[in-house]
Amino acid sequence: MDQLLEEVGRKVHQLTQFSTISETVPYLEKKGLTGMPWQVISEPVTVAKATFQPGDMLVSMADLNTGEAVNIQLINAKGEKRFLPKGQVKGAGCWLESDGEVDRLWISESIGTGLSVHRVAKEPVLVAFSAGNISQCVTAAKLRYPNSVVVIAADNDSDKKTNVGVEVAEAVASEQQVLLSVPPEAGDWNDYFCRHGQGTTLQALMDEVRQPQPMEVTDVARALWRFPYSIGSTGYDYQSRYLIKGQLPADSFGVVYGPSGHFKSFIALALACHVATGQDWNGHRTQRNKVIYVAGEGGTGVPRRIKAWESKSRKGVTVSDLAVISQPVYLTEVGQLEALIDAATDFGGEQGVGLIILDTLARCFAGADENKTADMNQFIAKCDELRRRTGATVLVVHHSGKDAEKGARGSSALRAAADFEFSVKRTEDDQLAAWLACTKMKDDGGASDMAFPLRVVELFTDSDGDPVTSLVVSDEGYVPETQDEVKEPPSKNQTALWEVVRSRQQQGEDTHRSVVRDDLKKMGLNTNNFSRWVTALLNRGSIRLEGDKLIAI
């Protein structure tokens, strides 16, 4: 930890040392804060897939207790914001000081709001940088100025589905016994400043100061909605990014479900380990990305399963790009979504995090009702915000219902929202194996249904001399023989599929799954059951798979 802090400290010192003061800062100009000198960077920097050019804004962040510089927020002309990888966010802030006696001071969520309040009120402001950090900033402000009035300059998110800004401010103000001031119209105080000017903003800022009103707090997320658009067919040739090609798309939302005790968590961990190391999965190319695994049940089970995978696939070498959070994360509760995003920012570094797994939905559902569409939609919305703000694929591990054949448990809204979905269950041949079936793949032909054997790995010997073991999923799947399917003649659709593959082979053309599927569509066939046709032909021995290519035999 000390080494990590030193590394972050060096980066903070380096960027600050070579920064300059500029009279014109693109982001501040955009926010209507002209004529406000500020620190800017002097060399290009890339952090978590965002690029910052010389002249972009640099905001120093200090530990609220020690005053030591612990992080930096960078803001480019487009308004993209990034903290330094592995730098402190919780318990850090930025003081905007003022001259004279301090009778009153303000807390703001963002630097733009903070600078607007500081300009019109000419009083100190402490910038929190996230809704989840406001409470700690209030505590620090009260300690620093014990005789001063503290006011939270809240955001008014009344134009959004949930008024996060007011709810968080009300909750913190009530708990900490401080005041708040909410803009009289939708937006934050910077928005109000841009629309009405300095004098009117000052008057409104003071007029709206009030005591908090008791209310139920349901959310803490900062939702900065922007809606990009394209013209006509722009983007038709875009190739979807993937984590595991044909199996796990990038920047998406998916579900793995199955009955209890049917190895779904083992499958999810296997996917996590392959993505974290870049090792191919069952012959499919894999892009290496950092992974966060939320083990909602905690305990030693997940670390032991990872160790078993390391022993089998890495000769014991630690999977360093896989981080485990050994407790549930309630995405719909105050602060927890922000804390998870902070963890992704810290762990992801410049590369960012590519995959976040929530195991299980029930553990991360915060006592809500899975069967209620409204509750499920709220959870889905938070998963989507997590995906949007981190750029990671969010994979939820879930239980199947009483009838496993009818899909995942609870509201059908979950499946409707998923970009991809897999079911997992034990194979019916009494083998130690998990049957992995692709039940939905929005933008691809779908992965082949296959069984993946598991084997026992001995990890260590406990204090009583007994072996401690875990299971690990094989990297290669197989298709169990199903005698009934072998005896039945191939269907017309199966025959058509085989003939397309054979014809393409004979002409030296591509036989990728998606290409074959497109050919069948052009023939007028409904290809919703394409994966089943492939599985049936694999069972018959009529075709074989080479990665994503179908080979006629």
* Residues 107/137, Cβ–Cβ less than 8 Å: yes
Tally of structural domains, the chain: 4
Tally of helices (H runs) and strands (E runs) in the chain: 15, 26
CA distance 501 to 48: 42
Per-residue DSSP letter, 286: B
* Residues 9 and 95 both lie in one domain: no
Instruction: Confirm if 46 and 52 have CB atoms less than 8 A apart.
Output: yes
| Coil vs helix vs strand at 389 | helix
Residues 462 and 473 grouped into a single domain: yes
Query: Is the same domain home to 137 and 54?
Result: no
Beta carbons within 8 Å of 187's beta carbon, 6+ residues apart: 155, 156, 159, 195
Domain residues for the domain of 321 are: 243-480
> pLDDT value at position 401?
80
Q: What is the pLDDT of residue 223?
A: 33
pTM over 0.85: no
Report the pLDDT value the prediction gives residue 486, as an integer from 0 to 100: 41
Radius of gyration over alpha carbons of the chain, in Å?
A: 27
Sequence-separated (6 or more) residues with CB below 8 Å from residue 303: 324
Same domain, 128 and 58: no
In a domain, 30, yes or no: yes
Q: 109 and 60, same structural domain?
A: no
Any idea what the CATH number is for the domain that residue 498 is in? 1.10.10
pLDDT by position in tens, the chain (length 553)? 345 455 666 777 778 888 999 999 999 999 999 999 999 999 888 886 678 999 999 999 999 999 998 899 999 998 888 888 777 888 899 999 887 888 999 999 999 999 999 999 999 999 999 887 898 999 999 999 999 999 999 999 887 656 777 888 888 898 889 999 999 999 999 999 999 999 999 999 999 999 987 544 443 334 333 455 678 887 777 677 899 998 999 999 999 999 988 999 999 999 999 999 999 998 889 999 999 999 988 778 899 999 999 999 888 899 999 999 999 999 987 578 888 988 888 888 777 899 999 998 999 987 788 999 999 999 999 999 899 888 899 999 999 887 767 788 888 899 999 999 999 998 876 568 899 988 898 876 667 788 899 989 999 998 999 999 999 998 888 876 554 444 467 788 999 999 999 999 988 899 988 899 999 999 989 887 887 788 888 877 788 888 778 898 8
E strand or H helix at 63, and its extent? strand 57-63
Is residue 539 packed enough to be buried (19+ CB in 10 Å), middle (13-18) or exposed (0-12)? Answer: middle
- Residues 6+ away with beta carbon under 8 Å from 288: 275, 276, 277, 278, 321
**What per-residue confidence (pLDDT) applies to 145?**
92
pLDDT at 128: 93
- Which of 428, 451, 480 is a domain's end point? 480
Same domain, 352 and 468: yes
What's the pLDDT score for residue 229? 66
DSSP string, 463-502: TTS-EEEEEEE-SS-B----HHHHHSPPPHHHHHHHHHHH
Residues 60 and 136 in one domain: no
Cα gap 128→91, rounded to integer Å: 8
Are the beta carbons of 412 and 376 closer than 8 angstroms? no
* Residues 97 and 66 occupy one common structural domain: no
User: What CATH number does residue 369 fall under?
Assistant: 3.40.50.300
User: In the prediction, which pLDDT does 346 show?
Assistant: 82
Helix, strand or coil, per DSSP, at residue 403: coil
